Structure 1
Amino acid sequence: MARKFLYIVVGLTVLVMAVLFGLRFFAEDLTEIAFVPSAAFTDQPRLADASYENPDMWLARPGMANDPARWLPSNYAELTSGAPSAETSSPASEAATAADPVTEKKVDAAVFFVHPTGLVSRTSWNASLDDDVSRQRSRLFVQGMASTFNTSPDIWAPRYRQAAIGAFLTDAPQATQALDLAYRDVAQAFDMFVKSIRPDQPIVLAGHSQGAFHLRRLIRDKIAGTPLAKRIAVAYVIGWPVSNDRDLPLMGMPACKEPTSTGCVASWLTFADPPETEMLLRAYARRKGLDGQEVGENSSFICVNPIDGREGGNAPASANLGTLVPDLSNGTGALTRGVVPASCGADHLLHIGPPPPLDLGPYVLPGNNYHLFDMTLFWSNLRADFARRVDAFGAARR
């Protein structure tokens, strides 16, 4: 099972690459034929009210055995003082271990993490909760991404009937219906999350790709203008554009201007140079902003630099505390310091310069798109950013 962590993700990545190659070299209608579900959309009933009281409805939550969010990179102990030993840091889901509660400073915040798309299918618009393949892929994404927050003992990552990747490749009404269905599950899980944590506990929201897409809407519907907004330390809405005009005003939070800004939104989309952004912008334009309006071709969106924590920031590679690099031969992953820089450009994208000299296998998408690495390129910096903002949030409260 240990080696499946990367093998399954490689398989998923190859499929995603095929989608994007199709977008790049073939007509859009041919791409839709190949990857957009051909089945009719079938709506599904709302989950029962108590569904998320069932631990099986969560990929990660406090007290879960073999929680994938508790995983740590194999050389984490070597790079971080007071971290657990490398011998206990296997990436295998069943062998994943928590950080040592004695030697590593804990972050007092409850994290709600929404995973990215794990469903690549032409036969269904939404993943079934009984689908073992998409469930395993989603679990692996939680392991690689949500683990950056595991200085907190309270990470919650719900299972949900995620939309297929084809929902982002078409403007057919079925795509919107599929995304709406997935969002209903996420919103329902969030309600249970809020009921389950301490009533005064700071909250951190995090999501990537489809997860970020849903998180924007969740903030508008469940948090903006409510007492809950005062408990949000930071929202990491990563891998999906957050429009300054169409989204941010409805979310009730500003962009994170400074490294210690709190109650704010951090978002970025990662490209090496030279970037080819047509595919990204086409997918973005298919979805309306939170205000219901078309985002438009020239809509600006947030770019908060994950290395220096500043909106529009620039940081050299020497400031990168650790990129998570997979090791296929050993079925593990390790951190590499000081290789990847980051700079928010005039195009609102996060630029990392030329493709970095790292063995990332087949993970990089066409057009120098590092979408799958939005979080892991900056795994250690994001971990530090999380701790810093929650600490600043607590200090402001006191």
Structure 2
Amino acid sequence: MARKFLYFVAFCTVVFIGGRLALAFYPEQLTRLSFTPGGQFEAQPDLAANAYANPDLWFARPGMSGSNPVQWQPEGFRPDPVPVDAAVFFVHPTTYLKKAHWNGPLDDPDARRIGQVMVRANASVFGAAREVWAPRYRQATFGAFVTDAPEARQAQDLAYRDVALAFDAFVAAQPADRPIVLAGHSQGSFILKRLVAEKVAGTPLAQRIAAAYIIGWLVDTRRDLPSMGLPACDRPEQSGCVISYLSFTDNADTAMMRDAYERFAGKSDAAGAASYLCSNPLTGGIGGNAPAARNPGGIVPDAKFEQARLTAALVGASCAADGTLRIGSGPDMGPFVLPGGNYHVYDYALYWQALRQDFARRVAAWQTRR
């Protein structure tokens, strides 16, 4: 069951890169066959210590030539009058779906093209920031998330090492008094949970975190938050905390998603069942209900995620007992809504303006508490 949820995510991405498959419910065996590499893991050396000094290893960073995807804005949006004095580190989701390798090569043209689109669609939420850095990395192929093979863990570890190296370069470039915001989606958030636990928790850097947007991957309040060393954001003016949610329609069956998380997290040593964080992007707190009227604007993109219109009151937000975010019956967002009422691809888009406001508010709160 867990792999069926992950197949849904893969299906959406495959459609996105041009593979117009029939919308159908495929069995677990076909999922593995379609996406899991058949060869052995290819051990690769770590990138050079100064690799991320190369601008080509970034989708976005200060001083880049050409158009910056983070500065994309939807139709109907009024630009922010004052920049938010913070630096954002954004990790993009999976865009490599091929079976040729366990990790996407940095020169793969499809993964790079779709990565650019994903940064534009998601990281543009942070476009008002003083700086946004979004690294390219040797991401684990989607097949690494639908198998128990040891190669899958090796692929995920390689992806993590690249992102950790990029993060070191990002931090080194920041003034010591500038707040930092961490953000990711899907595989990007999967990596960020580990990065916060290993490189931020218990260090002076933790005091500089204005917020961590771990969106599109589950965060267990009993298991993950203690290791990350950051609390959940339980009020809108709070800083130094974690925001996390996954978007589903009201009638969606989310059991597959929860099972998928357990595959990678393992059995909990904490007392009781897992308790997943459901941040409400319309209230800035945990749980609760907010009607669509409180949504200042989601974006409805075109089929290529190149243009979009900012649409007020697009969806509401209600946290269910299973820790998922429910959005009502779900709007028509185009061809990439996943079967079963899963709006994973649109986690950021549904609440684009609300997240933009949330980001500015939490950075302001961090600056006030200093």
TM normalised by structure 1 equals 0.85
CA 1:59–1:294 in structure 2 vs 1: closer, same or farther (change >3 Å)? farther
> Corresponding residue for 2:6?
none
| Cα offset, 1:39, TM superposition | 1.9
Given that residues 14 and 362 in structure 1 are in contact (C-alpha distance below 8 angstroms), is that contact kept between their aligned partners in structure 2?
Answer: no
Match of 2:342 among 369, 391, 397: 369
- Once residues 257 and 13 of structure 2 are traced to their aligned partners in structure 1, the CA distance between those partners, rounded to angstroms, is 21
Residue deviations 1:252-304 (CA, integer Å, cap 9, x gap):
01100000111100000110021122331232121026xx8589994111111
1:146 paired to 2:108: no
For 1:236-315, what aligned pairs fall within 5 Å after superposition?
Answer: 236-288=213-265, 293=268, 298-315=273-290
Stretches of structure 1 lacking an aligned partner (at least 5 in a row): 1-7, 84-102
- Once residues 330 and 240 of structure 1 are traced to their aligned partners in structure 2, the CA distance between those partners, rounded to angstroms, is 22
- Once residues 271 and 56 of structure 2 are traced to their aligned partners in structure 1, the CA distance between those partners, rounded to angstroms, is 41
- Once residues 107 and 348 of structure 2 are traced to their aligned partners in structure 1, the CA distance between those partners, rounded to angstroms, is 28
> Corresponding residue for 1:344?
319
| Cα offset, 1:328, TM superposition | 4.1
SS of the residue 1:48 aligns to: coil
> Corresponding residue for 1:69?
70
Residue deviations 1:333-364 (CA, integer Å, cap 9, x gap):
111101200011111000011122x3x11111
SS of the residue 1:197 aligns to: coil
Letter in 2 for 1:247: D
| Cα offset, 1:166, TM superposition | 1.2
> Corresponding residue for 2:89?
112
Match of 1:317 among 287, 292, 302: 292
CA 1:349–1:16 in structure 2 vs 1: closer, same or farther (change >3 Å)? farther
The two structures, once aligned, show a CA RMSD in angstroms of 2.3
For 1:34-183, what aligned pairs fall within 5 Å after superposition?
Answer: 34-65=34-65, 66-76=67-77, 80=78, 83=79, 104-183=81-160
Residue deviations 1:13-38 (CA, integer Å, cap 9, x gap):
776987x95xx541x23321122111
Letter in 1 for 2:308: G
Given that residues 297 and 312 in structure 2 are in contact (C-alpha distance below 8 angstroms), is that contact kept between their aligned partners in structure 1?
Answer: yes
CA 1:329–1:383 in structure 2 vs 1: closer, same or farther (change >3 Å)? closer
Residue deviations 1:198-229 (CA, integer Å, cap 9, x gap):
11110000000000000000000000000000
CA 1:330–1:285 in structure 2 vs 1: closer, same or farther (change >3 Å)? closer
Letter in 2 for 1:61: R
Letter in 2 for 1:372: V
Match of 1:203 among 180, 201, 206: 180
Given that residues 287 and 294 in structure 1 are in contact (C-alpha distance below 8 angstroms), is that contact kept between their aligned partners in structure 2?
Answer: no
Given that residues 189 and 216 in structure 2 are in contact (C-alpha distance below 8 angstroms), is that contact kept between their aligned partners in structure 1?
Answer: yes
- Once residues 325 and 237 of structure 1 are traced to their aligned partners in structure 2, the CA distance between those partners, rounded to angstroms, is 22
- Once residues 70 and 63 of structure 1 are traced to their aligned partners in structure 2, the CA distance between those partners, rounded to angstroms, is 13
CA 1:297–1:173 in structure 2 vs 1: closer, same or farther (change >3 Å)? farther
> Corresponding residue for 1:353?
328
Of 119-128 and 210-219, the range deviating more from structure 2: 119-128
- Once residues 87 and 281 of structure 2 are traced to their aligned partners in structure 1, the CA distance between those partners, rounded to angstroms, is 20
SS of the residue 1:157 aligns to: strand
- Once residues 68 and 316 of structure 2 are traced to their aligned partners in structure 1, the CA distance between those partners, rounded to angstroms, is 31
SS of the residue 1:111 aligns to: strand
- Once residues 40 and 113 of structure 2 are traced to their aligned partners in structure 1, the CA distance between those partners, rounded to angstroms, is 25
Given that residues 170 and 286 in structure 1 are in contact (C-alpha distance below 8 angstroms), is that contact kept between their aligned partners in structure 2?
Answer: no
Letter in 2 for 1:12: F
| Cα offset, 1:167, TM superposition | 1.2
- Once residues 155 and 326 of structure 1 are traced to their aligned partners in structure 2, the CA distance between those partners, rounded to angstroms, is 22
CA 1:373–1:13 in structure 2 vs 1: closer, same or farther (change >3 Å)? farther
Structure 1 outlier segments of 4+, above 6 Å: 294-297
Aligned residues: 358
SS of the residue 2:59 aligns to: strand
Residue deviations 1:134-157 (CA, integer Å, cap 9, x gap):
011111100110001011130000
Tell me the percent identity.
51
SS of the residue 1:393 aligns to: helix
Residue deviations 1:90-124 (CA, integer Å, cap 9, x gap):
xxxxxxxxxxxxx6111011000000000111111
SS of the residue 1:382 aligns to: helix
> Corresponding residue for 1:386?
359
> Corresponding residue for 1:96?
none
- Once residues 296 and 249 of structure 1 are traced to their aligned partners in structure 2, the CA distance between those partners, rounded to angstroms, is 14
- Once residues 305 and 179 of structure 1 are traced to their aligned partners in structure 2, the CA distance between those partners, rounded to angstroms, is 29
SS of the residue 2:88 aligns to: strand
